[in-house]
Amino acid sequence: MTRRVLSVVVGAVAAFAVMLLLEGLISWLYPLPPGTDVRDAQVMREIIAGLPWWVMALLLVAWLAAVTVGGEVARWIDRSGSGVPAILVGAIVLASATYEMVTLPHPAWFIPAALVGIVVATAFSARGRRPTRTVHA
């Protein structure tokens, strides 16, 4: 039980670390205007509304990579073969992404793509692994 809880916590931290790393890379590729106050929700709404589609597509890829890595880390630490830790990490990322999409406007195509993509990436990282057999000749 303790190992499973630890796996979810570490998996979620890994997911958010990947997300921050990739979002930082996106910010480097497409920097915010100088002097932007990222704590001002109205300013961020205006900036997000004006972002090119490719920046939003990179953000989507970052979210999907984060949930996949976080789920894989959780499964690796748990070692039970269960997909539950990965599903819990995916649920945490989904909740975070949903909150962001509710509080800050995103393009119409982005919301369903993010929701479906996060669920699919979660299922991918939660998939069961068959034990490997060693064949002796």
Long-range pairs of 86-89 with CB within 8 A, sequence gap ≥ 24: 86/11, 86/122, 86/125, 86/126, 87/122, 87/126, 88/8, 88/11, 89/8, 89/11, 89/12, 89/15, 89/122, 89/125
What is the model's pLDDT at position 45?
Answer: 86
As averages over each run of 10 residues, the pLDDT of the chain (137 residues) reads: 91 96 94 87 87 94 96 92 92 95 90 96 82 57
pTM of the model: 0.85
What is the model's pLDDT at position 37?
Answer: 87
What is the model's pLDDT at position 59?
Answer: 94
Three-state secondary structure call for residue 97? helix
